[in-house]
Amino acid sequence: MQQNPDFQQPPVPKASARPDSMPSRASTLRTIKLVLAYDGTDFSGWQRQKNGRSVQEELEKALSKMHGHEIRVNGAGRTDAGVHAMGQVASFYTDIQSIPADRFTLALNKLMPRDVRVLSSEEAPADFHARFDASLRRYRYFLVCGGTPDPFALRCAHFVPYYPRVAVLNAMAAVVLGEHDFSTFASAQDKSPSRSRHISESVFFFEGEKLVYQVAGNAFLWKQVRSLVGTMLELERIAESPAHGESLMRELLDSRDRSKAGATAPACGLFLWNVEYGERVHGHPRRHSEEAYG
């Protein structure tokens, strides 16, 4: 498809942009919202990088081929190398009028590699932004416990050779609910101006043979979820009871000392499960510079 000579790709708004500073766009442009799933094993992460294969790059390559000119996309969460997604959300502007919004799903999947799939596509409001408009991000971390796991399970789950006490894990998981400074569980390289995040879900449960940690919040610090999982697994081994585990976890959270946290759990078990949009009850207003890592 030939490029419209009057088309100019709108600049990608910076994290600090406010709604009233959004770029003006030609009336021919539409905003498309995509939901994607991907196996992150062979990716360097969501975000385009100078060295390494990224999900964003694969999606932008497919869109640029469709349009005949460069297309840039915005993602709801910056998943790290090896992290998967079942409900990543991306948005972009298109000047193609001949393709109904829901048909981008089929068209893109014909151009995308097998480890990335577009699950749905729809037209969104003109100023919709996948990252800045998200009100909640939900992650799941999968663990295979005991026995001898098959190699396919290990691609998308972390293996622990025993069965942790779920009651102790949930006593610790409940500690992080609400608004807290999560400095203890942030990577030392995290550059977020604030370490405060609001967590609305934090629970362990079995789903079939896999142990799942589900956590949801307005946003997350870099490697926060994996640090929480690794720390809780370590504390479960020494906690004498659920109450003791809760006390240990609260002490760590309140310390705001990264050196006291446990080892960061491997990326293979983590999934960006889904992203929700709507009125943001917690956290900062839309288009604030708050990061959205996983």
Active site residues: 80
Q: Residue 63: how many CB atoms within 10 A of its CB?
A: 25
- CA 161 centroid distance within chain: 27
Surface-to-core class of residue 89, CB atoms within 10 Å of its CB (0-12 exposed, 13-18 middle, 19+ buried): buried
Cα 294 to Cα 275: distance, rounded to the nearest angstrom: 12
CA angle 56–140–74, rounded 5-degree value: 20
* Contact between 38 and 294 (Cβ < 8 Å): no
Cα 184 to Cα 181: distance, rounded to the nearest angstrom: 8
Smallest Cα–Cα separation from 281: which of 170, 182, 178? 178
Cα 110 to Cα 107: distance, rounded to the nearest angstrom: 6
* Contact between 69 and 110 (Cβ < 8 Å): no
Smallest Cα–Cα separation from 240: which of 293, 178, 185, 171? 171
Q: Which residue type is seen at 266?
A: P
